[in-house]
Amino acid sequence: MTQIITDRNSDPTPEPVQTSHDAKMFGSPKDRLDFYRREIQYETSILSHRTDAYLAAQAFLVIAFASCMANINPEWGKFFTLTVPPLLAILGIVISLNAWPGIRAAYDIIDHWHFKQSELLSSEPVMGLAYDESPLFCEMESTHKGYKKSLMFSVRSPWIFGCFWMALGAFSLYIQMT
């Protein structure tokens, strides 16, 4: 099978004109809303998994820190409690600093999809009315204030634990030095 290659600019057949229906990626505003909702759910589950993994790591570090501080071995306990707990505190700070960008990125993506959803609901009056009349939905979940409050724990936890580890590290050094 042979094919004739021609210059596209010299081709006399015009490109088919795209209709507004073809230009839309989704068939209806409902399809678009469903897509936004799925993306929000997917990103929220990613944020949840990242937060769970981060909190599990922090829990193990707190247990290890407490165990190290409780060391009363007369031969090497003093040196051990002087070095290991501050190192664990530094590790906790490093983990917090490394967890922050991933948690923040997931939060920003969720924020983006919520913005798209609220714009869709405000730009499509029929969709907005149907959305507001439905007993399963309320306006609280489509506003910035509503979902941001629900995500604050995940966003703030690296900063809270970072400060917590700085305080614990300073405390462990203070206890051993005095």
How does pLDDT run across 24-66, given as a tens digit for each residue?
566 788 888 889 999 999 999 999 999 999 999 999 999 999 9
C-alpha R_g of the chain: 27
Domain assignments of the chain as residue spans, ordered by start: 28-177
CB atoms within 10 A of CB 149: 10
Task: Please compute the mean of the pLDDT values over residues 168-172 and round it to a whole number.
Answer: 93
In the chain the first and final C-alpha atoms are separated, in Å, by: 89
Per-residue pLDDT tens over the stretch 139-149: 555 555 678 88
